[in-house]
Chain A
Amino acid sequence: MYFEVISVALKLVSRSRTLRYSVVTSALLALFTFTILGIANWVTVFLLIILENLAFISSVYIDRQLLLSAIEGLILCGATRKAMYIFRLVYSKVNKLVLSTLFIVLLTIGFDPKLIMYWVISLAIAPLEAYVVERRV
């Protein structure tokens, strides 16, 4: 059951618009960060963190109907509470992984010491925001 649930979650992320949304958003975030490398201040970095998290949380709404249908289907197929938890976890984590990895990889080309703090905070709040997204899912 767990295998099926994970595969459904992965299929959902990869085939829906969510993945494309995450890729585009992270690329835009990276592009914006590139442009402020010389003049970055703490306010800008803080606002950037907020925007990234908003992008992550809002990714749930991209294909909400599809997601709800998938959840309904899984429940009808007999998915347990634990299986649904794994589904939510995989769905949101894969999404976050795409969003953050591309962003960080793109950022390493242009490095700014101030952005170290950005990554620290981003990692620190990741479980919290993941929890919120999971609840929404």
Chain B
Amino acid sequence: MVYLWLLYLVLLFVIALTCWLLTRYSFLEEPLGEKLRAFTFMPSPSIKLVTTFIGSIITSVSYIIVLLAVVTSVMLAGSATASNIMSTAIDLNVDLGSGVYLRITEPRTLIELSEAVNEEDVLFAALRILTPITFSTGDKTQLDFLVLALGGRYAENITGYVISSEEFALLDKSLRSYVKSLTLGRWEFKPLFVDLSRLTKIRLAENIPLVHSTGSIGFTVITVSNVSRLILLPFRVGLELVSKKQPNIDAVVILSEGYEPSEFLRYDCEVGVVNGTRLLLITALAVPTVESLGRAVVSTILAAAVMTSCLGGIMERTTKLSSALSIVGVTPSLSKLSAELAILMPIIAVGAVAGYIVDAFFGRAALLSSLLSLIMLTGLTALMLNVRMLRGGEQYIPAMSTTVTSLTVRKPAKIYSCIRDMVMKDEFFEVVEDEYLDVVGGGLARFRMLYRLSVGIGVEMQCYIARRGNELTITVTPVAWSLEEVSARELRSVIGIAMARVLGAVKLCTLK
């Protein structure tokens, strides 16, 4: 109980510290202000844009709240998960008693299991060694056999054959005249000749024969037809063969009721519960219950509610940044996409980290719930961002003659050279020609700009700079031309971009 209170004191301290930090650094919420500067594009403008947006919003308290809500929701969905183990029911053809069913195909697993369980607890064991084993059957003769090793208390009832001692091996009666002795390494067996044809008819379940199969046609499994190739050995001998030769195997073991099926889920084998002729196969894959998924949905909606309220704060920032960017020529759709990516990427990243923590502490089923929560949250955020950003509208970029007036003492020629320097650095346009003409009370500047993303589209910008005292009036007139057959709408867009560039440069140059 003392530890519990200590834990709560620590938690209280953490919360108090968070509150203090939020308060202390509340200046982060202050408006960004007009941080106008020449936007020089980096080699990868898209990445630059996204990082600009990330840098802008990541420090906002509202965005930190959104990230915390995502982490909390993802972890809440995971921690409140109850899981079910997946199972499949199968009808058996023979009564295998009641206990734990194991089907093993790995020699190593069979050896591990044989060490983990008592031999007395084995009700039935059938081990098929799929690799043929060579036995000496006389002085200089050898024969390849498919080994079927049987053991357990129910083996005689199920198969009808009994191997009373480890000294004996059962062979088909057709081999009576060929096999005089039977030797395998240090083992020397006394062959007993019986009719083994009955073995091929025994099926533990539909399509699970007791003897070896040679393949399948459709869903029908074909068993070995030549019973003279079969040899029946005691299970313990089969086990020793497996540990010595590591052949391919297929073994079915039924253990008595004292064992828990979940104990065997960590082994590389099929696990089930058998009850008479009913087999319930269970897997190690735990899946969240329907209730858990419901909890994940509720926690997601809760986080989404928190996000809805906080997105207002984030939108303020992105709108301001979009406006600033549009002045230097970034199209609204590009800024919208960049803003969306900048908001979504950290959400996905922190959600994934939270999911990893959930996986480490609560397991795979909890991780599934967490992932469900994260996917829904990401989708909802994207949806909300789309709606909010559409509502915000796009800033109007004039595609016609525009006049800008400002108070400045700078000379028109200086303003022209300032505008030229900025337009020359542009990513979309290449200035192929520029000139300046001094006129009385001002000047006339002309820029012939070629649109880089097209072959034959260009814009000619004429800037008439007039001075009256300290008042400076700049009239910018665009004229677009094209060698290609492009629509008027496309030309208007190009004019819009060019105007945004020049007007942005004009605004910056008159500020100085």
Contact = CB atoms under 8 A, between A and B. Distances in A.
B294 A35 contact: yes
Given A124-B12, A125-B15, A47 B23 contact: no
B310 interface: yes
Contact of A135 (B11, B23, B305): B23
B65 A32 contact: no
Interface stretch (A6-14, A49-57, A69-77, A84-92): A49-57
A44 to B, nearest CB: 5
A62 interface: yes
Contact of B306 (A31, A51, A64, A121): A51
A46 B71 CA distance: 13
Given A61-B312, A121-B8, A125-B15, A21 B305 contact: yes
Interface string B53-92: 0000000011001001100110110011010000000000
Interface stretch (B129-137, B174-182, B295-303, B492-500): B295-303
Interface residues of A, number: 41
B309 interface: yes
B76 A48 contact: yes
A57 B61 CA distance: 10
Interface of A is mostly: helix
Nearest to A48: B76
A39 interface: yes
A100 to B, nearest CB: 15
A125 B15 CA distance: 8
A104 interface: no
A61 B4 CA distance: 34
Nearest to A39: B82
A39 B11 contact: no
B12 to A, nearest CB: 6
A136 to B, nearest CB: 7
Nearest to B11: A46
Interface residues of B, number: 40
Contact of B298 (A35, A41, A46, A54): A35
Given A35-B294, A61-B62, A124-B12, A51 B26 contact: no
A60 B310 CA distance: 8
Interface in A84-121: 117, 121
A1 interface: no
A117 B8 contact: yes
A50 B72 contact: yes
B16 interface: yes
A44 B16 contact: no
A4 to B, nearest CB: 27
A28 B305 contact: yes
B309 A62 contact: yes
B19 interface: yes
A32 B299 contact: yes
B80 A36 contact: yes
Contact of B65 (A40, A42, A57, A124): A57
Given A51-B72, A132-B19, A25 B305 contact: yes
B22 interface: yes
B72 A28 contact: no
B442 interface: no
Contacts of B195: none
Given A55-B305, A131-B23, A135-B23, A41 B15 contact: no
Contacts of B166: none
B313 interface: yes
A41 B313 CA distance: 34
Interface in B278-310: 291, 294-295, 298-299, 301-303, 305-306, 309-310
A41 B23 contact: no
Contacts of B310: 58, 61
B69 A51 contact: yes
Contacts of B8: 117, 121
A121 B313 contact: no
A29 interface: yes
B119 interface: no
A20 to B, nearest CB: 11
A35 B75 CA distance: 16
B29 interface: yes
Interface string A15-46: 00000010011001101100110011111101
Contacts of A47: 72, 75-76, 79
Contacts of B69: 51, 54, 58
A58 B19 contact: no
A131 B302 contact: no
Given A44-B80, A61-B312, A28 B22 contact: no
A116 B312 CA distance: 35
B286 to A, nearest CB: 15
Contacts of A43: 75, 79, 361
Contact of B26 (A24, A64, A136): A136
B16 A128 contact: yes
Name the 7 nearest CB pairs between A and B, nearest first.
A58-B309, A47-B76, A62-B309, A61-B309, A32-B298, A44-B79, A43-B79
12 contacts: A28-B298, A31-B298, A36-B295, A42-B7, A44-B76, A44-B80, A58-B62, A58-B309, A117-B4, A124-B12, A125-B15, A135-B23
